[in-house]
């Protein structure tokens, strides 16, 4: 394994994570920069899944567990995720390398993250020291795993969907929000193996009136979200080296909440991040996927001001905002 002094991936990521705030001043926040052409009314598009549709996997979150099948079919799969807890949750999906099992993932990845978090939380380590410490602990293979697009941050009581194409294999689902006591949800029980079988799901991609392209250039939103259920098609044009990749988190905010507030809360190196209270109401989104991927998410939007943010690559200016107008 590469030492932390020569591991470019982690160095870049650590620098990037710490440079978040500095980069924010120039981040694009003007909805005017986005396309103003109204998207086709979402009401005309079929919902991305229905109860009799074999590609829908119902997942429920409570404080602190998932209710999710242990085994699902491969191919296009819609995760319909309902947060029945009193804290924010999300569904982060990682595909394991063929020679790495669930137990090894827990021991080699989840535990080191937790140990470093405890050191940060309890003041034994500074944020500057956290990423180098992780680089010493995490195996090199971790930086080659595929994150496979689960459902983004979701406020208590909310529901959202993500539709992704999954190859047969072994996966892990987790949520790493933090409890008010500073415990990571995965360590409290929100960590499960998921087997994707060779049996085809017979699912298909949902119709989507809105498109998002994620790249190092930023987050480009094409179309104007409407009140109600909005389905977004998301394309990952790249995966910046040394980062976890682009994700999309959608949250409704009041007029006083700044993009800085949101990104500060999303940066796991900050002690008050990823726990209640959140800087707004997260309504869904999609977690990172490999470069070249296309996937979908559906979120229920009521009128208001929204920010689309990326947890890991926001330092690249990967965020935008829009307003949903009442009909
Ligand atoms: Cu959680």
Closest CA to 283 of 263, 307, 260, 266: 307
Q: What's the pLDDT at 241?
A: 81
CB burial of residue 31 (10 Å; 0-12, 13-18, 19+): middle
Tell whether 283 is covered by a domain: yes
CB burial of residue 23 (10 Å; 0-12, 13-18, 19+): middle
CA of 207 to the centre of ligand 1 (A): 29
CA of 311 to the centre of ligand 1 (A): 16
Categorize the per-residue pLDDT at 13 as very low, low, confident or very high, splitting at 50, 70 and 90: very low
- The single residue listed with the structure tokens 């001043």 is 25
Q: What's the pLDDT at 135?
A: 86
Q: What's the pLDDT at 311?
A: 82
User: Rounded to an integer, what distance in angstroms lies between the CA atom of residue 136 and that of residue 297?
Assistant: 35
User: Rounded to an integer, what distance in angstroms lies between the CA atom of residue 128 and that of residue 113?
Assistant: 15
User: Rounded to an integer, what distance in angstroms lies between the CA atom of residue 155 and that of residue 172?
Assistant: 22
**Would residue 160 be called left, alpha or beta, if left means φ above 0 and alpha means ψ between -120 and 50 degrees?**
beta
Chain segment 259-316, per-residue pLDDT in tens: 889 989 998 889 999 999 999 999 999 999 999 999 999 999 999 999 999 887 666 6
Query: Does the pLDDT at position 323 exceed 90?
Result: yes
CA of 187 to the centre of ligand 1 (A): 10
**Contact between residue 170 and residue 103 where contact means Cβ atoms under 8 Å apart:** no
Q: State how many domains the chain has.
A: 1
Q: For residue 87, what are the contacts with CB-CB under 8 A and spacing of at least 6? A: 63, 156, 177, 179, 185, 275, 276
Chain segment 181-215, per-residue pLDDT in tens: 999 999 999 999 999 999 999 899 999 999 999 99
Report the DSSP beta bridge partners of residue 210: 232
- Those residues whose beta carbon sits under 5 angstroms from the ion ligand 1 are 89, 175, 177, 185, 190
User: Rounded to an integer, what distance in angstroms lies between the CA atom of residue 149 and that of residue 172?
Assistant: 12
CA of 275 to the centre of ligand 1 (A): 9
Tell whether 297 is covered by a domain: yes
CA of 208 to the centre of ligand 1 (A): 28
Higher pLDDT, 52 or 217: 217
Q: For residue 189, what are the contacts with CB-CB under 8 A and spacing of at least 6? A: 64, 65
Q: What's the pLDDT at 317?
A: 60
Mean pLDDT in residue range 107-127:
95
CA of 177 to the centre of ligand 1 (A): 5
Tell whether 287 is covered by a domain: yes
Q: What's the pLDDT at 54?
A: 63
Q: What's the pLDDT at 315?
A: 64
User: Rounded to an integer, what distance in angstroms lies between the CA atom of residue 269 and that of residue 127?
Assistant: 6
Query: Does the pLDDT at position 252 exceed 90?
Result: yes
Three-state SS sequence of 260-302: HHHHHHHCCCCCCCCCCCCCCEEEEEECCCCCCCEEEEEEEEC
pTM above the 0.85 mark?
A: no
CA of 91 to the centre of ligand 1 (A): 8
Query: Does the pLDDT at position 71 exceed 60?
Result: yes
CA of 65 to the centre of ligand 1 (A): 8
Phi, psi of 302 (to 5 degrees): -95, 165
Q: What's the pLDDT at 53?
A: 60
CA of 145 to the centre of ligand 1 (A): 22
Q: What's the pLDDT at 67?
A: 98
What CATH number did the domain enclosing 29 receive? 2.60.40.420
Query: Does the pLDDT at position 119 exceed 60?
Result: yes
Q: What's the pLDDT at 43?
A: 36
**Contact between residue 21 and residue 260 where contact means Cβ atoms under 8 Å apart:** yes
Tell whether 8 is covered by a domain: no
CA of 159 to the centre of ligand 1 (A): 14
Q: For residue 187, what are the contacts with CB-CB under 8 A and spacing of at least 6? A: 110, 114
CA of 276 to the centre of ligand 1 (A): 11
Q: What's the pLDDT at 312?
A: 77
Tell whether 119 is covered by a domain: no
What's the domain range around 171? 23-96+145-324
277 preceded by cis ω (within 30°)? yes
Tell whether 122 is covered by a domain: no
Q: What's the pLDDT at 31?
A: 36
Q: What share of the chain is helix, strand, coil (3-state, %, to 5)?
A: 20, 35, 45
CA of 150 to the centre of ligand 1 (A): 13
Closest CA to 208 of 62, 2, 45: 45
Tell whether 113 is covered by a domain: no
Residue 256 CA from chain centroid, whole number: 24
Tell whether 274 is covered by a domain: yes
CA of 40 to the centre of ligand 1 (A): 34
How high does pLDDT run on average in the chain? 84
Chain segment 123-157, per-residue pLDDT in tens: 999 999 998 898 889 998 998 899 999 999 999 99
CA of 86 to the centre of ligand 1 (A): 10
């Amino acid at each position: 394994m590469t030492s932390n002094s020569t591991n470019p991936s982690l160095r870049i990521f650590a620098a990037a994570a710490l440079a978040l705030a500095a980069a924010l001043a120039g981040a694009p926040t003007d909805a005017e920069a986005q396309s103003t052409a109204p998207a086709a009314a979402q009401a005309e598009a079929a919902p991305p899944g229905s109860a009799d549709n074999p590609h829908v996997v119902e997942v429920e979150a409570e404080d602190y567990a998932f209710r999710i099948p242990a085994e699902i079919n491969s191919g296009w799969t819609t995760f319909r995720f309902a947060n029945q807890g009193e804290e924010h949750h999300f569904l982060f999906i990682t595909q394991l390398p063929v020679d790495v099992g669930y137990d090894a993932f827990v021991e080699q990845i989840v535990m080191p993250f937790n140990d470093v978090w405890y050191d940060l939380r309890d003041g034994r380590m500074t944020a500057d020291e956290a990423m180098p410490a992780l680089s010493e602990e995490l195996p090199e293979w971790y930086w080659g795993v595929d994150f496979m697009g689960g459902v983004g941050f979701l406020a208590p009581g909310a529901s959202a969907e993500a539709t992704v194409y999954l190859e047969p294999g072994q996966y892990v689902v987790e949520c790493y929000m933090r409890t008010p006591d500073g415990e990571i949800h995965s360590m409290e029980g929100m960590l499960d193996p998921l087997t994707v079988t060779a049996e085809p799901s017979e699912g298909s991609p949902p119709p989507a009136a809105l498109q998002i392209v994620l790249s190092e250039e930023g987050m480009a939103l094409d179309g104007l979200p409407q009140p109600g259920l909005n389905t977004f098609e998301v394309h990952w044009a790249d995966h910046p080296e040394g980062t976890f990749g682009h994700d999309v988190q959608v949250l409704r905010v009041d007029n006083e909440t700044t993009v800085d507030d949101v990104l500060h809360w999303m940066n796991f190196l900050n002690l008050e991040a990823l726990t209640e209270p959140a800087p707004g109401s997260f309504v869904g989104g999609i977690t990172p996927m490999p470069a070249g991927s296309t996937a979908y998410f559906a979120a229920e939007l009521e009128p208001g001001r929204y920010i689309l943010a990326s947890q890991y690559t926001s330092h690249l200016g990967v965020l935008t905002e829009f307003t949903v107008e009442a009909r």
